[in-house]
Chain A
Amino acid sequence: KNQVEQSPQSLIILEGKNCTLQCNYTVSPFSNLRWYKQDTGRGPVSLTIMTFSENTKSNGRYTATLDADTKQSSLHITASQLSDSASYICVVSARNTGFQKLVFGTGTRLLVSP
């Protein structure tokens, strides 16, 4: 069964600290993996998208890694800011064969405390 599991479910860190969010998936055949940031009451915003051949991608203070062999991804946030408080959603896409669709994780809720 195609699944995406994220950990931890929630996380509280102090402003300025780093943190790492995890995503494990069983989606097959794999096409790409995305990380989204969703502020409360708003739609998700794309942070990174990685294909099978990419193992790291950065977007400012956000760095995503992908290990396609172990089917794991992580999102590392450096020097956290209060505005990083949000839910972070991992989404895995299967190759476009028939009615494949995106598989969403349930997200990690991050709170950055002053």
Chain B
Amino acid sequence: KAGVTQTPRYLIKTRGQQVTLSCSPISGHRSVSWYQQTPGQGLQFLFEYFSETQRNKGNFPGRFSGRQFSNSRSEMNVSTLELGDSALYLCASSSRLANQETQYFGPGTRLLVL
């Protein structure tokens, strides 16, 4: 089975712009979770989607949003980018809800905001 894929792998944007990141989960997985990872904060949970519904949400501002399609692929959008949004954004999938079984992570999208 192919693993979790994320596109793009690297991205450079400027403050005020918006960005959309994409995640394709492992075939058959219905849960997709998004995380932000920075050197100082470690992994921080953004949100989880299961069967096209947001099931869980972390403590991030409304500029961070996501959605999941019927084929379980997910997108994450960040509007009005700030310098502090520079981070590695990781997507993880599992066949059940994230807190019920092992998650499989993608390679991440590294975002740099200038």
Contacts and interface: CB of A to CB of B under 8 A. Distances in A.
Interface of A: 31-32, 34, 36, 41-46, 49, 89, 93-96, 99-102, 104-107
27 contacts: A31-B99, A41-B108, A41-B110, A43-B90, A43-B106, A43-B107, A44-B43, A44-B90, A46-B102, A93-B98, A93-B99, A93-B100, A95-B99, A99-B55, A99-B57, A100-B99, A101-B45, A101-B48, A101-B58, A101-B99, A102-B45, A102-B99, A102-B103, A104-B42, A104-B43, A104-B44, A106-B42
Interface residues of B, number: 28
Contacts of B41: 106
Interface of B: 4, 33, 41-45, 48, 55-58, 88, 90, 92, 97-108, 110
Nearest to A104: B43
